[in-house]
Amino acid sequence: MKALETKNLGITFGGLKAVDGFTISIEQGQLYGLIGPNGAGKTTVFNMLTGVYKPGSGAFFLEGQPLLGKSPVEISKCGIARTFQNIRLFDKQSVLDNVKLGLHNRFPYSAISGVLRLPSYFKNEKLMDETAIELLKVFDLDGEAYTIAANLPYGKQRKLEIARALATQPKLLLLDEPAAGMNPNETAELMENIRFIRDRFKISILLIEHDMSLVSGICEEITVLNFGKILTSGKTADVLSDPEVIKAYIGE
């Protein structure tokens, strides 16, 4: 079964076809790249896959399950998690609480139990704390568990966002320009992290990167988007040597 299949996804904003005929298929455990110039429609694809935007046409399936028309909350419960191009953390809450929010639906207990401090509160909070710290360790953030998220340096904020997304235990992780604003060292480390996450959590990853050289390092397959349409899809090496792709990038 495919991890993700999209069939002719499309959306229009005020007459502009932001994405049109978007069809891809991602294997289980695959690291898949989505590249293309600015404004090509990459983030819009993520917004459709997470229910933030309702696609105007097409359909998409997570491990065979149709997700079209579901709300972001339902889609999260089905197993898609994401990060954002412009980091969206819960700024005023601690690093630990950000990750615990990612665990929101994995260790549920009622608000009443929380207010009255019933046993389920203590049990689930303990499990949440342990699981969250475990995740923070993967990203070397456990030392800053009690820091307010807004006070983290930029690179760590990006990592925290990935940790929070992983906390939801997704089948498919969508990363929107995770290396944006990072220096080459940080980027190299991040790419290692991404590979590690895929192997350790056994998930599929769809990665948006503006910079082609980064994608070529870790993605097995890529799709190139240009003006909302797929220019080409295939094995990374083949796609990157495609003259059409080179033209689209140089023409940028």
Ligand X SMILES: Nc1ncnc2c1ncn2[C@@H]1O[C@H](COP(=O)(O)OP(=O)(O)O)[C@@H](O)[C@H]1O
Give me the residues that bind other proteins (CB under 8 A), please.
Answer: 50-52, 71-73, 75-77, 81-82, 84, 88-93, 97, 100-102, 104-105, 107-111, 113-117, 121, 124-125, 128, 145-146, 164-165, 167-168
The token pair at 150 is 């807004």
The minimum distance between CB 41 and ligand X, in angstroms, equals 4
Identity of the residue, 40 or 96, whose beta carbon is nearer to Mg ion in the bound complex: 40
Q: Which is nearer to other proteins, 140 or 192 (CB)?
A: 140
Residue 17 CB, nearest distance to ligand X (Å)?
9
- Closest separation between CB of residue 163 and ligand X, Å? 23
Task: Encode the chain in three state secondary structure.
Answer: CCCEEEEEEEEEECCEEEEEEEEEEECCCCEEEEECCCCCCHHHHHHHHCCCCCCCEEEEEECCEECCCCCHHHHHHHCEEECCCCCCCCCCCEHHHHHHHHCCCCCCCCHHHHHHCCHHHHHHHHHHHHHHHHHHHHCCCHHHCCCEHHHCCHHHHHHHHHHHHHHCCCCEEEEECCCCCCCHHHHHHHHHHHHHHHHHHCCEEEEEECCHHHHHHHCCEEEEEECCEEEEEEEHHHHHCCHHHHHHHHCC
Asked if 28 interacts with Mg ion (CB under 5 A), we say no
Specify the pairing of strand 229-235 against strand 221-226. antiparallel
Binding segment for ligand X among 40-48, 128-136, 137-145, 194-202 (CB under 6 A)? 40-48
User: Interface with Mg ion includes 43 (CB under 5 A)?
Assistant: yes
Q: Which range in 38-46, 130-138, 144-152, 234-242 contacts ligand X by CB under 6 A? A: 38-46
Supply the minimum distance, in Å, between the C-beta of residue 190 and Mg ion: 17
Cβ at position 191, least distance to other proteins in Å: 23
Binding to ligand X (CB under 6 A) within 6-25 occurs at: 13, 18
Which residues contact Mg ion by CB under 5 A? 43, 85
Which residues contact ligand X by CB under 6 A? 13, 18, 36, 38-44
